Amino acid sequence: MLQGFWFGTIAVLWAGFLMLEGFDFGVGMLLPFVTRTDTDRRIALRSIGPVWDGNEVWLLVAGGATFAAFPEWYASVFSGFYIAFALLLVGLILRGIGIEYRGKAETANGRHWCDRAIVVGSFLPALLLGVAFADFLRGVKMDAGHNMAGGFFDLVTPFGLLGGVVTLTLFLFHGAVFLALRTEGAVAFRAKVAAKRVAPVTAVAAVAFVLWTAGTRGGWLSFLLGAVLVVAFVASLAALWLDRIGLAFSASALVCLLVPVWVFSALWPDVLPARNSAALSLTVHNASSSHYTLVVMTVVALLFTPIVIAYQAWTYWVFRARVGAASVGHGGYEETVVGRLRHAASVGTDGESPAEPR
């Protein structure tokens, strides 16, 4: 009973992560494609600036909740997917530092390095998450102690890569629609074009992945969820073509929410199926914590999750205004503090900075 609740809770945490951080990853990956000038890039990044860190916490809490509620699952997955998680961490570190330090970089060169870190750091997690989900569905080889056998390349299968393509292109689409919704001007326009370009790839990959999975795992419920997922994506695409951006974003958010829910529904009651022998599979029963721990964590989750959702939602309300050139000012860091000091020191200049700062 409580095991089921925690299985569901972890699915919800992943869902929140994919819906929110999905567009952050998308925006990061799209940086070279939807921006031309430094101002463009600052507009794109400003759209996620206040929220990306809070969005990332959904992943940390999903990890922490798995540790607390299903320690065996946490231990098997994190040690078994060691290299994938190490790369994921490198990606998240590069991206976080890139976003946070870009505005404080002194030179154009420094900003370019930050841009590269953001692109690579968004691309890696977006791909790896899908590969990991696909490998959960496919099952892994485990011994009696639930230690995963095999190396990194056992996880990089055609099915795994297809899963990676699904999340990668889905986040590109989700991020593009987000930019179209949240920014103004050229960035929003290019984002809309990008969304339309990437959508066919996402659609084909998603349909293929849902069908392939249905052939190997899960019952009618997971197939139904997979079908709803595909329909929601088509709806998002239709809304985009009709220029109903708000609707398109809602639908693509729903798709992102449904991805982990669909994966988890196909896994149930396993949390990590063993491919070599069904008897070795980790299930919600043999992977879970004791009843007392689950009760404690349930009380904590029921008390605090609504509060978290309330203040995060309020944050999005506070920053609801679209981001345009006016909201990011004229220049980067130099034009603000140093620029002001120089302005104060020099007489006769008007303090205007060029569109593409040094």
Shortest CA distance to 194 belongs to which of 24, 33, 41?
33
Least distance from other proteins to the Cβ atom of residue 170, Å: 22
Least distance from other proteins to the Cβ atom of residue 305, Å: 7
Residues of span 27-56 touching other proteins by CB under 8 A: 42, 45-46, 49-54, 56
| CA distance to 94, 174, 250, per residue, from 198 (Å) | 25, 10, 18
Instruction: Give me the residue label for tokens 């069908």.
Output: 211
Nearer to other proteins, 78 or 212 (CB): 78
Contact pick of 104, 197, 285, 342 for other proteins (by CB under 8 A): 104
Contact pick of 315, 342, 352, 355 for other proteins (by CB under 8 A): 315
Residues of span 337-356 touching other proteins by CB under 8 A: 337-338, 340-341, 344
Residues of span 227-286 touching other proteins by CB under 8 A: none
Contact pick of 1, 158, 279, 292 for other proteins (by CB under 8 A): 292
Tell me how crowded residue 270 is: count the other CB atoms within 10 A of its CB: 22
Structure tokens of 276?
A: 């070599």
Residues 6+ apart with CB under 8 A from 243: none
- Residue 326 DSSP symbol: G
157 binds other proteins (CB under 8 A): no
188 binds other proteins (CB under 8 A): no
Least distance from other proteins to the Cβ atom of residue 68, Å: 3
Contact pick of 23, 74, 173, 209 for other proteins (by CB under 8 A): 74
Please tell me the count of residues contacting other proteins according to CB under 8 A: 80
* CA 18/CA 253 separation, integer angstroms: 8
Structure tokens of 72?
A: 């065996």
At 106, the amino acid letter reads E
- Name the 3-class secondary structure at 358: coil
Residues of span 295-314 touching other proteins by CB under 8 A: 296-297, 300-301, 304-305, 308, 311-312
Residue 28 near residue 121, CB atoms below 8 Å = yes
97 binds other proteins (CB under 8 A): yes
